[in-house]
A and B are shown apart, each in its own frame.
Chain A
Amino acid sequence: MSCHPPDTEAPGPSTIDLKDQNVCLVGMPNAGKTTLMNALTGGNFKTANYPGVTVSLLRGRTKPEFGASRNLIDLPGVHSVVAPSPEEELAVQVIEGKHAKVKPDAFVLVVDATQLERHLKFAGMVARQKKPTVVALTMMDLLPRTRLVVDPARLAETLGVPVIPVDPRTGKGMEDLIGELDLVTRGTSVPYKSNALAELPREPVAAFMQVRNLLRQSGSVMHSNEADSVTAKIDSIVLHRYLGFPVFFLVLVSLFAAIFWAAAPFMDLVSSGFAMVGNLVTSISPDSVFVRFLAEGVIGGVSAVAVFFPQIMILFFLMTLLEDSGYLARGATLVDRPLSFLGLHGRSFVPMLSGFACAIPAVFAARSIPARRERLLTIWILPLMSCSARLPVYSLLLAALLPAAALTAGLSLAAIYISSLLVGALVAGLAARVFLKYRTPSLLAMELPAYRVPRMWPILKMTWARGSSYLQRAAVPIMIVSAVLWLVSNFGTTPERFIASTPKDQSFAAQVGHKMEPALHPMGVDWRVGVGLISAFAAREVFVSSMAIVFHIENTDDDEQIKKSLLEQMQTAKFPGTDQLIFTPSSITGLIVFFFFSLQCFSTVAVVRKEMNSWRLAGFQLLFYTGLGYALAVITVQSLRAFGIA
């Protein structure tokens, strides 16, 4: 070859611009893709959503020390292309170049060294695309725990693709991986003699046979079918006939403890922080309607969401921790029998558990359930799980119902929580049989990954990515709803003119409340409670603060003070123009029943609509639960009164 001046370099493969190329991380679940993503991006990734699909992908850019900055996309793991879940379907679409938005330029194929047969069989599908591909061989550190032997260099020769052993947990092999990726993308790598991986048959039985032959040629020893020694030991306890459930309940109790007690101080911090900002804004110009709108409607609305943020972050953190350690799949295995009887899936326990914190992350968590029918049913019952927004409402109502009996109130609260789970089970079982014609469950075939000590940094990054994605998606609808509700409860019309900042009993909300009176009387309450119930659709706990507003409680700085003076007001509140008390044992019980069932959360409705891509379903769910709550509240109040309990 003659030398040529550098400025007239011929356009060739080496001029391919690597910058901004889309590199997709693909592989089977639990291969270590997300850990690799974390190592390659330096933790700089976030979840990205695409219109039309409910699956979110992780996107990030390669760290600067890895040369040209490329887009990294972590595709959901694929178990099988047969009867794929939505996540698997999306990954397959992208791999095959059929996705409208995500076009891969190169693949990093993440392959678990301890499960070469299954992972290489999947790899065949990726290699068939004839795109630049590098195999990242993970879990090499687990090999000493087993009797397996893998030689990456010989494996590469046999398969016809570069194979780079990596340990994303320590960062080992990252430079090699990127270097090799540069070479194959530019087309300057030394070609392999074989093209075996790309020529794997599509038919699974033949493909597995071929993979085994290739592995034999590459000198890998894959004769062992035993779990690694650590996994085998832990499973002998976790799946034990008598110890399995005690361990499971211990895990659940710790989760609950963390969500409710550990989060409490942070929640107080957030709520007092927002109260301070609100007061600060109000102090600018206390009489201005706009400033009050900003402080109460907008900031108050954000505060209503943000107060649950610590709790949800802790939830995401612990769920990611459990998932990464490998325990989650075992938990799902333990409870699959009762749940599949109800038409749910073993994995439904994760969203159900999350539902006790908040239905919104719970709806997202339902994505891990492969079959649509089971996912639908799980999402259907999530609003019944006693979310933490109900807690302030229940604590107010129970304090009003049982003023001098803290212990009884506490036990009643526990009973409400347990009942919400049991009623959820009942509704699921009935809905599965009535609406979904449930006969047989869809295939479980759930992989139980090897146990690994979770790495904190990637988990924290993942928690942050999920948490901020939650905030973005939940905050906007809640803010809008809260702002609108503030406007309707602070503005109104009188016969003469439109008045800003009308007294509470003449606002639009009060007018709606008055119109609703015929419907509210059977529940044993008046229009003021109706205003509280309407405003609770922004978030259930708003019921407390809006009750404080309609019952003219001033001094809104201290939550305890509000509750105390509100309780006093409630004890004496009477129906206008009569001596009849509003808050009697029967009407309070009715309200508790209403909050137990009713889907008073527009954010949940919005999220379910998006997740299931159906307004009809989300609307039906809203009407079903709110109608059910109302009907059962009326029945409760009327039958209590029939039995002589006022």
Chain B
Amino acid sequence: MAFGHTSNVKAENDNRFHLEGLVVAKQLSLVPLASPFRIERLDGPVQDCNRLLDLGVTPGEEVVVTHTAPLGDPLVIRIRGASLALRKREAGWIWVV
């Protein structure tokens, strides 16, 4: 759960990290608003992740976090032309690059 955060600051403006396979995945709950990311994988409870897949949250898709609710949770994401409200906890299962 808690791996993968250490080097995401370093990745900024560093060309090597934009190569396939070298980019460090981040959790969707931690990415800045309004910037597009690509989904790398889902990592969470099987049933919930299967429902997310079925809703169109699939690896390879572009996703944007468009809003944060005033209390900080849930987030509103944009995917496949739809807006979905996701709790931070759920967004944390979505790893993006």
Binding site for B on A (CB under 8 A): 79-83, 114-118, 121, 148, 204-205, 208, 222, 224-227, 231, 235, 239-242, 244-245, 329, 332-334, 336-338, 340, 346, 440-449
Contact = CB atoms under 8 A, between A and B. Distances in A.
A332 B54 CA distance: 22
Interface centre among B50, B52, B55 (most CB of A within 10 A): B55
Contacts of A204: 50, 53-54, 56, 58
B82 A235 contact: no
Contacts of B59: 205
B67 A338 contact: no
A334 B72 CA distance: 9
Given A121-B56, A445-B55, 8 more contacts: A80-B54, A204-B56, A208-B56, A226-B78, A235-B83, A239-B76, A241-B70, A447-B84
Given A227-B78, A334-B70, A337-B69, A445 B84 contact: yes
A245 B54 CA distance: 32
Contacts of A117: 56, 80-81
A83 B51 contact: yes
Given A118-B81, A205-B59, A82 B54 contact: yes
Given A240-B70, A242-B70, A336-B73, A115 B80 contact: yes
A576 B74 CA distance: 60
Contact of A441 (B58, B62, B78, B87): B87
11 contacts: A80-B55, A118-B56, A118-B81, A208-B56, A235-B76, A337-B69, A337-B73, A346-B74, A346-B85, A442-B48, A447-B83
A334 B54 contact: no
Contacts of B82: 115, 118, 447
Interface string B41-69: 00000011011111110110110101111
Interface centre among B58, B64, B74 (most CB of A within 10 A): B74
B51 A80 contact: yes
B79 interface: yes
A337 B71 contact: yes
Contacts of B68: 241
Contacts of B86: 444-445
B69 A239 contact: yes
A346 B53 CA distance: 22
B56 A225 contact: no
Contacts of B81: 114-118, 148, 222, 224-225
Nearest to B62: A225
A137 B60 CA distance: 27
A334 B36 contact: no
B51 A443 contact: yes
Contacts of A346: 74, 85
B89 interface: yes
A432 to B, nearest CB: 16
B55 A444 contact: no
Given A225-B64, A337-B69, A443 B74 contact: no
A244 B71 CA distance: 10
B92 to A, nearest CB: 12
Contacts of A441: 87, 89
Interface of B: 36, 47-48, 50-56, 58-59, 61-62, 64, 66-74, 76, 78-87, 89-90
The 9 closest A-B pairs by CB, nearest first: A80-B54, A448-B83, A82-B51, A244-B70, A333-B85, A337-B71, A239-B67, A446-B85, A204-B53
B70 A245 contact: yes
A239 B50 contact: no
Contacts of A118: 55-56, 80-82
B74 to A, nearest CB: 5
A166 B89 CA distance: 39
A274 B82 CA distance: 50
B87 to A, nearest CB: 5
Given A83-B47, A340-B87, A239 B55 contact: no
Contacts of A222: 81
Interface centre among B50, B53, B82 (most CB of A within 10 A): B82
Contacts of A224: 81
A240 B70 CA distance: 6
Nearest to B59: A205
A83 B50 CA distance: 9
Contact of A445 (B36, B51, B58, B71): B51
B85 to A, nearest CB: 4
Nearest to B72: A337
Contacts of B74: 333, 336-337, 346, 444
Contacts of A208: 56, 58, 61, 80
B90 A443 contact: yes
Nearest to B64: A225
Contacts of B73: 336-337
A80 to B, nearest CB: 4
A204 B56 CA distance: 8
B67 to A, nearest CB: 4
A457 B82 CA distance: 27
Nearest to B81: A115
A239 B48 CA distance: 25
Interface centre among A231, A239, A240 (most CB of B within 10 A): A239
A448 B51 contact: no
Nearest to A30: B82
A118 B52 CA distance: 12
A443 B83 contact: no
A575 to B, nearest CB: 53
Given A225-B78, A334-B70, A448 B58 contact: no
Contacts of A443: 48, 51-52, 90
A205 B53 contact: yes
Interface centre among B71, B74, B80, B81 (most CB of A within 10 A): B81
B56 to A, nearest CB: 5
Contacts of A340: 87
A338 B52 contact: no
Given A118-B80, A121-B56, A226-B78, A82 B50 contact: yes
A29 to B, nearest CB: 11
A369 to B, nearest CB: 14
A208 B51 CA distance: 14
A444 B90 contact: yes
Nearest to A208: B58
Contact of A440 (B54, B67, B89): B89
Contacts of B78: 225-227
Contacts of A80: 51, 54-55
